């Protein structure tokens, strides 16, 4: 979809989007600010579309998604979704905390992925709109009961999606628990800055402010090492086309069928968002810069997109038609004491923030 219109502010409004098989209504929220347009579903907190202009002022949806609820129900690719309780993988679907072993839902294979078979991406969130000091946004809330998907503690989650007057999209996560638990929240938007129906993203130029990454073994579980990227296909410290080395003869690339790895951000955990990634599409001139408080970012090159179902632009999404940049703590940190901790205890508040800045060149 291509549209042309001047920058304007549109306070959040919602309309029905569909119903789940159990009859629960799903609504779509729409908001606009600073030249960015955002559509969000109450189902999964899904970013259904995000539109930004190219260098000629032409708008395109740059996030992969579906026009109907049925598309999301039929897909297992987490397109656009909020991810929890635990983004990425936990080895063998279990972890030990304070001497107690917890057994988790296993979504794929033998490991827990993105919170389990019915993670936050499959839940209906309570959503309210707001306008404040030039910002427009949404407050999404969810309560995950003790034992859901095997995770201990009742977890109360609050996420803010904010569009700023400059068109940046900010995501602020908060969570509290009544029992010791582990938490790692993230967003699983698939980006294609040329437009969601434009084909592969292999010519997008990516840079990551990371001089190390976490190598993986079977099942894409980290080995525990922090490996330098210098001299490897994982060196994105300078802008590099995504496809330039994606099929290199590398055991790490063979494990994932491309990129599906965590980069260790040089800045570490920070109180305010710091630089993480820059993505640029040379054809349209669109640029997205990501800053985060998180210590890691998962770059996934859409290796498992399989052409089903058809996307919102009328084109089936195929392998590498989009990529994800998921800000996070490291995969399997629940089992790796050397990694930054994902433990949350009663009386503490989990906080994480990521900002996406949009521009053109």
Q: What is the CATH number of the domain that holds 345?
A: 2.70.98.10
Q: Which residues are catalytic?
A: 188, 326
CB-based contacts of 205, cutoff 8 Å, min separation 6: 239, 240, 241, 242, 279, 280, 281, 282
pLDDT at position 6, please? 53
Helix-strand-coil split of the chain, %, nearest 5: 10, 45, 50
- What gap in Å lies between CA 41 and CA 145, rounded to an integer? 22
pTM: 0.96
Whether pLDDT at 263 is above 60: yes
Show contacts of 269-277: CB within 8 Å, 24+ apart: 269/293, 269/294, 269/295, 269/340, 272/353, 273/353, 273/354, 273/355, 275/209, 276/208, 276/209, 276/325, 276/327, 276/354, 277/206, 277/207, 277/208, 277/209, 277/325
Whether pLDDT at 5 is above 80: no
Tokens (6 digits) for 100: 């107690």
Alpha helices by DSSP H, 161-243: none
Distance, CA of 81 to chain centre: 7
Tokens (6 digits) for 343: 């433990």
pLDDT in tens, 71-83: 999 999 999 999 9
Across 132-145, average pLDDT = 98
Question: Pairing state of beta strands 155-163 and 169-177?
Answer: antiparallel
Tokens (6 digits) for 84: 């929890």
Whether pLDDT at 308 is above 80: no
Find, among 49, 50, 81, the residue nearest to 66 by Cα. Answer: 49
Q: How confident is the model at residue 90 (pLDDT cuts 50, 70, 90)?
A: very high
Find, among 142, 144, 152, the residue nearest to 104 by Cα. Answer: 152
Q: How confident is the model at residue 1 (pLDDT cuts 50, 70, 90)?
A: very low
pLDDT in tens, 210-230: 999 999 998 999 999 999 999
pLDDT at position 4, please? 47
Q: Which helix (DSSP H) or strand (DSSP E) does residue 129 occupy?
A: strand 126-132
Number of structural domains, the chain? 1
Span of 42-51, 105-114, 152-161 with lowest mean pLDDT: 105-114
Across 7-33, average pLDDT = 95
Question: Could you identify the residue written with the tokens 């525990």?
Answer: 224
- What gap in Å lies between CA 120 and CA 83, rounded to an integer? 6
The residue range of the domain holding 160 is 2-360
Distance, CA of 358 to chain centre: 16
Give the DSSP letter of residue 219.
Answer: G
Integer angstrom CA distances of residue 248 from 166, 170, 277: 39, 35, 22
């Amino acid at each position: 979809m291509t549209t042309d219109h001047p920058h304007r502010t549109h306070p959040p409004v919602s309309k029905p989007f569909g119903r789940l098989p159990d009859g629960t209504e799903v609504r779509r929220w729409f908001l606009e600010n600073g030249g960015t347009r955002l559509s969000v579903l109450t189902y999964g907190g899904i970013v259904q579309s995000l539109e930004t202009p190219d260098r000629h002022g032409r708008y395109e949806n740059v996030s992969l998604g579906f026009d109907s609820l049925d598309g999301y129900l039929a897909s297992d690719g987490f397109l656009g979704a909020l991810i929890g309780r635990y983004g990425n993988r936990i080895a063998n679907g279990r972890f030990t905390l304070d001497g107690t072993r917890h057994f988790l839902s296993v979504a794929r294979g033998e490991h827990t992925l993105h919170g389990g078979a019915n993670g936050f991406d499959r839940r209906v969130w309570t959503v309210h709109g707001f306008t404040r000091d030039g910002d427009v946004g949404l407050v999404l809330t969810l309560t995950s009961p003790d034992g859901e998907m095997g995770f201990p503690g009742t977890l109360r989650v609050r996420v803010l999606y904010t569009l700023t007057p400059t068109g940046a999209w900010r995501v602020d996560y908060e969570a509290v628990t009544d029992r010791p638990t582990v938490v790692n929240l993230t967003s699983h938007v698939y980006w294609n800055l040329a437009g969601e129906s434009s084909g592969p993203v292999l010519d997008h130029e990516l840079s990551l402010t990371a001089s190390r990454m976490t190598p993986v073994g079977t099942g894409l579980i980290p080995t525990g090492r922090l490996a330098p990227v210098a001299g490897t296909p994982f060196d994105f410290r300078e802008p590099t086309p995504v496809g330039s080395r994606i099929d290199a003869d590398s055991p790490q690339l063979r494990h994932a069928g491309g990129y599906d790895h965590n980069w260790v951000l040089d800045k570490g955990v920070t109180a305010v968002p710091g630089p993480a990634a820059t993505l640029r599409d040379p054809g349209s001139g669109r640029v997205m810069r990501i800053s985060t408080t998180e210590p890691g970012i998962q770059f996934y090159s859409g290796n498992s997109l399989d052409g089903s179902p058809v996307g919102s632009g009328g084109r089936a999404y195929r392998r590498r038609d989009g990529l994800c940049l998921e800000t996070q703590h490291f995969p399997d940190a629940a089992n790796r004491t050397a990694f930054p901790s994902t433990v949350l205890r009663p009386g503490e508040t989990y906080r994480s923030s990521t900002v996406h800045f949009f521009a053109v060149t």
